[in-house]
Structure 1
């Protein structure tokens, strides 16, 4: 659902306002997801340490979040720290990223309050350091009553892990319900219509993102042409926008440019964008008379 609070486009920069005026406000996406990539390369190009790229990337987050809140974007989900990052990056870098996350939350809760932004998280966050989890819960509680953009950070997140966790959750629910009724899972399923009763809606209800719509637009920075195990279930029909710009150089105006590209697309969801009837289609098993165009070929 679109946000009903007043737009704050008067707070956009002149550059942002120029792009915003090309948009159809009634077609702002409900949910934008971003793969924030390129912090290390940004630092490397400047002969800097990688951690400086991560610090600059954290600054970009708040710039983009504030622009999202000013245009009433309902949901913004950022791929902040993947499960693979946690398992494969050097321990020193992971430790630094955890401190950076904690500092980001502490330093920016006031700005989130000022922008009516609500914090949310997805991923196996229970595996993060305890002190980081405490700060995350604090920031979420502090912003819980806000009614503007919901900022979701994907932390210790992997989409395959999410699908596994959703499947486990379904099985746990079935076992608990069978135990409550005093029957077997097999008997319970037979009452509910068998295994066919587990459908797309069931899976979506058990995903981390069950309380938000699927992304309309997925943005990836740094020019890489891959999804990187991010929201695989949810982006089935998302529009993709890839930019060569590295994340530390990404700003609110570039979010608006992505939305402008999105509004130029025709979202068909497997259908057609014009009226179509199959009444005049030929029988594929019947031989067709050659047309002049076919003969000329």
Structure 2
């Protein structure tokens, strides 16, 4: 995993946001160094009772692998007789995704940094109705409180339809 991404995650979670938000991490933890895993566990434990905001940070995560692991989990439950194939619906499937750590697993807003203009295999299932905001700066370290507030203001101007016209 590039050190730049780890540093960004550490900087975000080390900010004042940590006092306000519950912070969870999703992704394949088997590829993360023990020192970073220890930091992740400490942050998750220290923020687990914060209720006003839930920030989910993704490290070594892909939407496709999340969907595949959810399919495997559902298939195992069917094989074990815990459920029947006809029982499977959106909610059953969503409960097996890594974002099941959140009461609100479907983001309202996704902020893409780094001058990229796509979702890059990120939370493919969960982002079906997410509003997207793209920062034009190439340097992700440029993201700050002002950038975040600007994204929130832009989000407030939007009319969400959740699949409707």
Query: TM-score, normalised to structure 2's length?
Result: 0.81
Aligned pairs, how many? 161
Question: 1:99 Cα deviation (Å)?
Answer: 7.0
Match of 1:216 in 2: 108
Aligned CA RMSD, in angstroms, stands at 2.7
What secondary structure does 2:80 align onto?
helix
Please state if 1:267 is matched with 2:160.
yes
Residues 171-193 of structure 1: CA distance to partner in whole angstroms, max 9, x if unpaired? 22223345xxxxxxxxx62xxxx
Match of 1:243 in 2: 135
Match of 1:207 in 2: 97
Are residues 267 and 203 of structure 1, via their aligned partners in 2, closer, same or farther at CA, if it must alter by over 3 Å? same
Q: Which protein, 1 or 2, shows the higher relative CO under an 8 Å CA cutoff with sep ≥ 6?
A: 1
Who wins on radius of gyration, i.e. which is larger?
1
- 2: distance between equivalents of 1:209 and 1:141? 17
What secondary structure does 1:240 align onto?
strand
What secondary structure does 2:98 align onto?
coil
Kindly report which structure 2 residues correspond to 1:1-297, keeping only aligned pairs within 5 A, or say none. Answer: 86=1, 94=2, 96=3, 100=7, 104=10, 108=14, 111=16, 115-177=19-81, 189=84, 195-210=85-100, 211-213=102-104, 214-245=106-137, 246-272=139-165
What secondary structure does 2:58 align onto?
strand
Structure 1: give runs of 5+ residues left out of the alignment.
Answer: 1-85, 87-93, 179-187, 190-194, 273-297
- 2: distance between equivalents of 1:204 and 1:220? 23
- 2: distance between equivalents of 1:259 and 1:124? 29
Question: 1:241 Cα deviation (Å)?
Answer: 1.5
Question: 1:234 Cα deviation (Å)?
Answer: 0.9
Are residues 176 and 129 of structure 1, via their aligned partners in 2, closer, same or farther at CA, if it must alter by over 3 Å? farther
- 2: distance between equivalents of 1:237 and 1:158? 18
Residues 185-211 of structure 1: CA distance to partner in whole angstroms, max 9, x if unpaired? xxx62xxxxx33212111111111122
8 Å CA contact 1:217–1:262 kept in 2: the answer is yes
